[in-house]
Amino acid sequence: MEPRPPGRDGIGELIGLEYVETTPERIHARVPVTEDILQPAGLVHGGVYSAMAESVCSAATWLAVQGEGMNAMGQSNSATFLRPITKGHVNAFARPRHRGRTTWVWDVEITDDDERLCAMVRMTVAVRPSR
């Protein structure tokens, strides 16, 4: 897999998504904590976790299936928040759990820079023919 999936990722660019490690079995991406991604209470907005998961999992699935004329897009995104992040980076570690013909399922762990688990996201990606 390439260090950064190709193509434009508008929301990823807006939040500063950076790919740290990409292998077929694990993706590590991160977002720096800035004022732009904080909610009024000073915590990283929960939507950032979901956006990170969808960007990373959709891009990784697309890299795996695009050679077969297929496309990948988010189908379901379920996040559980455990502890807040207020500084440093939001780190996303994604692992594929199911690689089907029409659906891929990913588990994403969101941690802070101290490697504390802050959120978990189950991401389902639809695989469909490209147009």
With a pLDDT cut of 70, the percent of the chain lying above it is: 94
Helix (H, G, I), strand (E, B) or coil at 91: strand
**Residue 79: inside a domain:** yes
**Total domains, the chain:** 1
**Residue 1: inside a domain:** no
Is 80's pLDDT higher than 80? Answer: yes
**Residue 5: inside a domain:** no
**Residue 2: inside a domain:** no
Residues recognised as catalytic = 54
Q: Which of these, 34, 30, 54, 57, lies nearest to 45 by C-alpha position?
A: 34
Mean pLDDT of the 85-102 span: 98
Average pLDDT, rounded, for the chain:
93
**Residue 69: inside a domain:** yes
Name the band, by pLDDT with cuts 50, 70 and 90, for residue 7. Answer: low
Within 1-131, residue ranges assigned H as helices are: 10-15, 46-65
Mean pLDDT of the 50-62 span: 95
Which CATH number belongs to the domain containing residue 35 in this structure? 3.10.129.10
**Residue 3: inside a domain:** no
CA distances from 43 to 38, 39, 75 (A): 5, 6, 27
Total-model pTM: 0.91
Give the domain extent around 93: 10-129
**Residue 4: inside a domain:** no
**Residue 46: inside a domain:** yes
Is 9's pLDDT higher than 70? Answer: yes
With a pLDDT cut of 90, the percent of the chain lying above it is: 87
Is 99's pLDDT higher than 50? Answer: yes
Tokens of 107: 């588990």
Mean pLDDT of the 16-33 span: 93
